[in-house]
Structure formats: C-alpha cells, structure tokens
Amino acid sequence: MAQGTIKSIRDDRGFGFIAPDGENKDIFFHSSAVEGRIFDQLREGQRVEFEAGEDPRNPGRRRAESVRLIEE
C-alpha cells in the first residue's frame, strides 16, 4: 500500500490531491475513495495510505482508492 501526504483538499467539490512518497506527481482522490466516511475530517499535511489505480474518466492518469488516515 502506498503512502503520502494530503497536499490539497477541496471540501466544496469533494476531492483532493495526495503527494505520494518518493514521487513528483500528485495523485487525485475523490471523497468516495476515503474509507470510514471521514473526508470532512481530512486536512492538508496529514499522512495517508492508499491504493493507486487508473482513473477510468482520464485514461493514463492515476487516482487514489481506499484512502486511509495513518494514525500517528
């Protein structure tokens, strides 16, 4: 499972971007991909785990699935 840091959140639009560890390109995630229905509790700078998959709406681009907050 990949890990990264939440780079930005758009609460009003229901999505955000994760900066994956060791990668230069941010990855999109939708509120529906967040486990435990905690999207509204996520903040920039928090650490998360996720599964990276292909975005069916944008072939060739990745998106995060099964996003989970890493408890520190």
pLDDT at position 60: 86
pLDDT at position 26: 96
Q: What is the DSSP letter of 10?
A: E
Cβ neighbours of 39 (radius 10 Å): 19
Instruction: For residue 51, give the CATH number of its domain.
Output: 2.40.50.140
| Number of domains the chain contains | 1
Q: CA end-to-end span of the chain, whole Å?
A: 17
Determine the Cα–Cα distance for residues 8 and 25; give it in Å rounded to an integer: 13
pLDDT at position 55: 86
Q: What is the pLDDT along the chain (72 residues), one digit of tens a residue?
A: 999 999 999 999 999 999 999 999 999 999 999 999 899 999 999 999 999 999 888 888 999 999 999 987
Q: Which domain holds residue 31?
A: 2-69
Any bridge partners for residue 19, and if so which? 5
Q: Is 33 helix (H, G, I), strand (E, B) or coil?
A: helix
Q: What is the DSSP letter of 1?
A: -
